[in-house]
Amino acid sequence: MSYTRTSLLAAMALVAGTTGTALLVGQAGAATSAVPCTVDYKVQSQWDTGFTAAVTLTNNAAAKSSWTVKWSYAGNQKVTNGWNGKITQNGADVTVANEGYNGNLASGGSVSFGFNGAYSGTNSVPATFTLDGVTCNVDGGGPTDPGPTDPGPTDPGTPSGKANNPYTGAKVYVNPEWSAKAAAEPGGSKIANQPTAVWLDRIAAINGVKGGMGLRAHLDEALKQKGSGELVVQVVIYDLPGRDCAALASNGELGPNDIDKYKSQYIDPIVSILSESKYAGLRIATVIEPDSLPNLVTNAGGTPTTTDACVTMKGNGNYEKGVSYALDKLGAIPNVYNYIDAAHHGWLGWDSNLGPAVQQFHKVATTNGASVKDVAGFIVNTANYSPTKEPHYKVTDTVGGQTIRQSKWVDWNQYVDEQSFAQAMRDKLVAAGFDSGLGMLIDTSRNGWGGSARPSGPGPQTTVDGYVDGSRIDRRIHAGNWCNQSGAGIGERPTAAPAAGIDAYVWVKPPGESDGNSAPIPNDEGKGFDRMCDPTYGGNPRNGNNPTGSLPNSPLAGQWFSAQFQQLVRNAYPPLS
């Protein structure tokens, strides 16, 4: 497919008989200051009945506190939905006004918005654009008319132009901030070059906290790492109202009713940045709100694990509204791949939990503006410790004619590891109406369970408990334990397409970042003290009233925990070399 870049003045020059490169005015130096504004209109992907466009507006006049862009189509194009701007259309005339969060436009500043559209026939770039009534020069364009059967520039098999698996054939972004911390630890240089996710766990993280890198800085660094190939950037979307209603350590800054603030001050600014045209060549994998929807399934009423906070969040619907909104807005960006968090086998592995979870996932993906097309896949084991595969026993094993499912550890679960759970969940999700190309991710950052405590083979064939306890590489006291687990190790290294239905093994939870504080710590992040992070606590119904198995002297969730990192390196499996 060929691409052209056109401008109004370039078109005029060509009419006058100029050949060769198009003349682009308003790009630099004195010429720029004479041009009041420029508009870069790109058709990013196009198929037989629709297209996706990205528009970048640059203001070269006096600073503005609000703005309105207008253009007219020569054909029958219709805008169907958009982001980062209030878009209206009357016949061929389109008007785009700023949102509340992106109205300020400095002199020399730029703002980007985008939209999906429908058309038939040709899809030519509009000839003239205005900013607040003043005509702009156009530096932009898009693909030449690809014809009615060309599905788009990236992946011939998908109308949206997205790859079936974004990790295939791509590098994955190495966060330089995490890499530097890892390299400074004993043995850390062996994994400091591994890719980890960027967590946006509060509004301030979008622009960077205490001098740290913000989202744009990470994306700019990703462009440097990308080179001429493909690169995936992993971003965790994690700031729902009333966040993590069942674990105080990961509570957040927004109150239970702050859904409008979540949309306008958190999701919308992220969407604005990810939509910028200079990042269109990156593949951006988003992990959508860890633990939120699973909490609605198991902790929001009628069970021993119910919490008042989860009952509140189920009642007000703000987890569902927030996730749907994120899916809708992020899914509309052509190079974004949304993966919804789906807990782990030790949480949802029972049929009584897995069926309702699939129904819950489908509900949020088909309401409040979201569509199953906004979902690239799901992720399991985020920031958890469940093994990818248990090598020494299977859920179908028996001892003395008794199923090992009745052992205290398995407790009638249908799964004993994450890969079998992820593959089974994928089948159920597709059967429920999700796309047949759905992919699963498994967070393997801390589930290796190596070291001297790792069994080398199956346990004794004495009792079901003796067999399972002697076989399992997961050495936790209880599968419900989740905070800074003693004995854990680095797991499988990030790998693309490691098994059927699995898009990748990933390190979403950066090794060395705490799960939560082991004692109360005052903070301004909304994070509380959860006794599940206290090694002296005797447990609760969510972990069968067992000890927590957590490490002592741990800092707030997300902060660097050197002792944990060094343990993870020592117990890595496969071992580090």
CATH number of the domain bearing residue 498: 3.20.20.40
* Percentage of the chain modeled with pLDDT above 70: 90
Query: In terms of Cα–Cα distance, which of 489, 426, 485, 419 is closest to 452?
Result: 489
User: What pLDDT is recorded for position 51?
Assistant: 86
Cα-trace Rg, the chain: 26
Q: Residue 126 above 70 pLDDT?
A: yes
User: What pLDDT is recorded for position 237?
Assistant: 98
Higher confidence at residue 82 or residue 131? 131
User: What pLDDT is recorded for position 137?
Assistant: 79
Q: What is the CATH number for 86?
A: 2.60.40.290
Q: pLDDT tens across 325-381, in order?
A: 999 999 999 999 999 999 999 999 999 999 999 999 999 999 999 999 999 999 999
Q: Are 55 and 272 in contact (CB under 8 A)?
A: no
Asked if 197 and 80 sit in the same domain, the reply is no
Distance CA 243, CA 256 (A): 8
Query: In terms of Cα–Cα distance, which of 568, 458, 471 is closest to 511?
Result: 568
Confidence of residue 481 (pLDDT cuts 50, 70, 90): very high
Structure tokens at 242: 């009333």
Q: Residue 525: inside a domain, yes or no?
A: yes
Asked if 364 and 448 sit in the same domain, the reply is yes
Asked if 433 and 519 sit in the same domain, the reply is yes
Distance CA 271, CA 129 (A): 23
Q: Residue 400: inside a domain, yes or no?
A: no
Asked if 135 and 174 sit in the same domain, the reply is no
Confidence of residue 145 (pLDDT cuts 50, 70, 90): very low
Q: Residue 246: inside a domain, yes or no?
A: yes
Query: In terms of residues, how long is the chain?
Result: 577
Asked if 83 and 197 sit in the same domain, the reply is no
Cα→Cα distances 243→185, 253, 380, Å: 32, 8, 18
User: What pLDDT is recorded for position 34?
Assistant: 61
Q: Residue 362: inside a domain, yes or no?
A: yes
Q: Which of 98-107, 210-219, 365-374, 382-391 has the lowest mean pLDDT?
A: 98-107
Distance CA 263, CA 130 (A): 29
- CB atoms < 10 A from the CB of 30, how many? 6
Distance CA 380, CA 378 (A): 7
Q: Residue 50: inside a domain, yes or no?
A: yes
Q: What average pLDDT does the chain have?
A: 89
Higher confidence at residue 55 or residue 399? 399
- Which residue range is the domain that position 432 belongs to? 170-391+416-456+480-570
Q: pLDDT tens across 528-576, in order?
A: 999 999 999 999 888 999 999 999 999 999 999 999 999 999 999 999 9
Q: pLDDT tens across 271-322, in order?
A: 999 999 999 999 999 999 999 999 999 999 988 889 999 999 999 999 999 9
User: What pLDDT is recorded for position 138?
Assistant: 52
Q: Are 374 and 331 in contact (CB under 8 A)?
A: yes
Give the DSSP H or E segment for 13. Answer: helix 8-15
Task: Tally the domains of the chain.
Answer: 2
Q: pLDDT tens across 455-464, in order?
A: 999 999 999 9
The pTM (predicted TM-score) of the whole model is 0.75
What mean pLDDT is predicted for residues 405-428? 97
Q: Are 373 and 160 in contact (CB under 8 A)?
A: yes
Distance CA 58, CA 40 (A): 8
Q: At what angle do helices 308-316 and 318-331 cross, to 10 degrees?
A: 60
Confidence of residue 84 (pLDDT cuts 50, 70, 90): confident
Q: What are phi and psi of 502, to 5 degrees?
A: -105, 115
Give the DSSP H or E segment for 499. Answer: strand 495-499
Distance CA 219, CA 104 (A): 22
Asked if 122 and 182 sit in the same domain, the reply is no
Q: Residue 247: inside a domain, yes or no?
A: yes
Asked if 195 and 343 sit in the same domain, the reply is yes
- CB atoms < 10 A from the CB of 431, how many? 10
End residue of a domain, out of 125, 143, 161: 143
Asked if 186 and 61 sit in the same domain, the reply is no
Positions marked catalytic: 291, 515
In the 3-class helix/strand/coil scheme, how is 384-438 assigned residue by residue?
CCCCCCCCCCCCCCEECCEEHHHCCCCCCCCCCCHHHHHHHHHHHHHHCCCCCCC
User: What pLDDT is recorded for position 27?
Assistant: 28
The 8-class DSSP code of residue 536 comes to: T
Asked if 67 and 178 sit in the same domain, the reply is no
Asked if 487 and 543 sit in the same domain, the reply is yes
Please, which residues bridge with residue 172 across strands? 232
User: What pLDDT is recorded for position 141?
Assistant: 38
Distance CA 227, CA 347 (A): 40
Q: Residue 410: inside a domain, yes or no?
A: no
Three-state DSSP state, 112: strand
What are the respective helix, strand and coil percentages of the chain, to the nearest 5?
A: 25, 20, 50
Asked if 438 and 559 sit in the same domain, the reply is yes
Asked if 179 and 320 sit in the same domain, the reply is yes
User: What pLDDT is recorded for position 53?
Assistant: 87
Residue located via tokens 């466009």: 53
Sign (positive or negative) of CA dihedral 294, 298, 299, 305: negative
Q: Residue 335: inside a domain, yes or no?
A: yes
Q: Which of 71-75, 79-83, 262-266 has the lowest mean pLDDT?
A: 79-83
